[in-house]
Amino acid sequence: MSSHKHPAHRGSIFVEDATIISHQRFDADQYILRLSSARCAKRAEPGSFSHLQCSKDLPMRRPLSIMRVDKQAGWVEYLYRDVGLGTHALAQRQIGEVISVMGPIGKPFATTANKSRPLLIGGGVGIPPMIFLAERLKQEGIAPLVLMGSEVPYPFQTQSSSLAVPGLDSDDTNYGITLLEDMGVASRLASLQNYEGCFQGYVTDLGRAYLQALSTEELAEVEIFSCGPHPMLEACAKLAQEFSLDCQISLEEYMACAVGGCAGCVVEIQTDSGPAMQRVCVDGPIFDAKQVYPAIYA
Ligand SMILES: Cc1cc2nc3c(=O)[nH]c(=O)nc-3n(C[C@H](O)[C@H](O)[C@H](O)COP(=O)(O)OP(=O)(O)OC[C@H]3O[C@@H](n4cnc5c(N)ncnc54)[C@H](O)[C@@H]3O)c2cc1C
Ligand code: FES
């Protein structure tokens, strides 16, 4: 995963009829959906997403990030929140039903070889790609730290973490995500909701506490990867700038076609030759924070 192995062009995006293998509901209308989707599973990389037909009555698909895949078994897993028409229709779908899936879409995260301390920051429904990236990094022998911010209960059982993290081992910052712990990946949680074991504040403040506990040599090994709401991404870019770190962010814009044809998802990106409009679906969704928030780095 050290470079963009799969250029995100239309020839690598498949349309598949995917059968629902499992569909679990969690607190706050959050769902984990597992689909039998072998072609998508085979090509998916951390940061890729799918465009799902939530219901036959809804012509517009909805984009969801890929959270986990099993290439051998041929399944793809998503975590989503029921927030409106499309996701509500999706939430009604039952095990055994078939959903049309278009994917995997988008340029994935690109890790840097000498950055051995990746810091993954996810917020709200931006958490799923962080789980995929953490799992992949761990498989590649790199130990990331995952920090998550959420204002609704986390959909995985939290527990007192057995994995130490510099600066984040007090009683009120020692809960992690079971799914990540089981992979041997350290994680910590932040929320403004007074949840037990969670840092009370923004996830980027939790990130700052960790970064402040590192030596100059250790800081040189850190790179930030982030997905979540825009204010959180901007705060991540500021955090990266504060500690002189590289930072990649995943943008989640409204999407119509998701294959680069409608320009409905364009954002202004700073390029070497000046500002340019780029499509989040196929030119992204991963961008360098410097390109999205040039004013922070000015
Ligand atoms: C690349 C990408 C990856 C995504 N990954 C996930 C994911 O893993 N899990 C997940 O739960 N959601 C994810 N989303 C967001 C998800 O696509 C939207 O929540 C969904 O399309 C909403 O559709 P709806 O018809 O249910 O709601 P709508 O009725 O369209 O909207 C409901 C509410 O959500 C807001 N909203 C809708 N779409 C977006 C958006 N793209 N960005 C910000 N606000 C939006 C609306 O303003 C409104 O308040 C992703 C979006 C993108 C572009
Ligand atoms: S959604 Fe159509 S170009 Fe991106």
Which CATH number applies to 10-105? 2.40.30.10
- Amino acid at position 279, single letter: R
Assess whether pLDDT exceeds 80 at residue 120: yes
pTM of the model: 0.93
Among protein residues, the one with the nearest Cα to ligand 1's atom 17 is 63
Q: List the single range of 161-165, 221-225, 254-258, 260-264 with lowest mean pLDDT.
A: 161-165
Per-residue confidence at 152, pLDDT binned at 50, 70, 90? confident
Rounded distance from Cα 112 to ligand 2 centre (Å): 28
Give pLDDT tens digits for 44-84: 999 999 999 999 999 999 999 999 999 999 999 999 999 99
Domain ranges of the chain: 10-105, 117-250
> Long-range contact list for 217-222, CB < 8 A, 24+ apart?
218/117, 219/243, 219/244, 219/245, 221/114, 221/115, 221/116, 221/117, 222/115, 222/117, 222/118, 222/119
Rounded distance from Cα 14 to ligand 1 centre (Å): 21
Assess whether pLDDT exceeds 60 at residue 4: no
Q: Please indicate whether residue 111 or residue 40 has the higher confidence score (pLDDT).
A: 40
| CB-ligand 1 contact for 287 (6 Å cutoff) | no
The residue with tokens 């989707």 is 37
Mean pLDDT score, 138-162: 85
Residue 262 parent element (H or E): none
Pocket residues for ligand 2 (CB within 6 Å)? Answer: 255-258, 260-265, 279, 281
For residue 128, say if its preceding peptide bond is cis, omega within 30 degrees of 0.
no
As a whole number of angstroms, the distance between CA 245 and CA 177 comes to 25
As a whole number of angstroms, the distance between CA 251 and CA 292 comes to 9
Sign of the Cα pseudo-torsion (137, 164, 176, 226, in order): negative
Mean pLDDT score, 154-160: 74
Give pLDDT tens digits for 24-36: 999 899 999 999 9
Q: Please indicate whether residue 112 or residue 109 has the higher confidence score (pLDDT).
A: 109
Assess whether pLDDT exceeds 90 at residue 279: yes
Top-tier CATH class for 117-250: alpha beta
Q: List the single range of 86-90, 173-177, 247-251 with lowest mean pLDDT.
A: 173-177
Assess whether pLDDT exceeds 50 at residue 159: yes
Give the pLDDT of residue 7.
Answer: 47
How are the residues of the chain apportioned to helix, strand and coil, as percentages rounded to the nearest 5? 25, 35, 40
Rounded distance from Cα 255 to ligand 1 centre (Å): 9
Q: Which atom of ligand 1 is nearest to the CA of 285?
A: 1
- From the list 186, 235, 243, 185, the residue with the least C-alpha distance to 215 is 243
Give pLDDT tens digits for 170-186: 777 888 888 899 999 99
Percent of the chain predicted with pLDDT > 70: 96
Give the pLDDT of residue 1.
Answer: 54
* Cβ neighbours of 95 (radius 10 Å): 11
CB 100 within 8 A of CB 15: yes
* Cβ neighbours of 187 (radius 10 Å): 29
State the pairing for strand pair 145-149/186-191: parallel
Between CA 212 and CA 31, with CA 285 as vertex, the angle to 5 degrees is 85
CA Rg value for the chain: 18
| CB-ligand 1 contact for 278 (6 Å cutoff) | no
CB 101 within 8 A of CB 45: no
Q: List the single range of 101-105, 114-118, 155-159, 262-266 with lowest mean pLDDT.
A: 155-159
Within 74-188, where are the H helices?
85-91, 127-139, 178-183
The closest ligand to the CA of 84 turns out to be 1
Give pLDDT tens digits for 164-223: 888 888 777 888 888 899 999 999 999 998 888 888 999 999 999 999 999 999 999 999
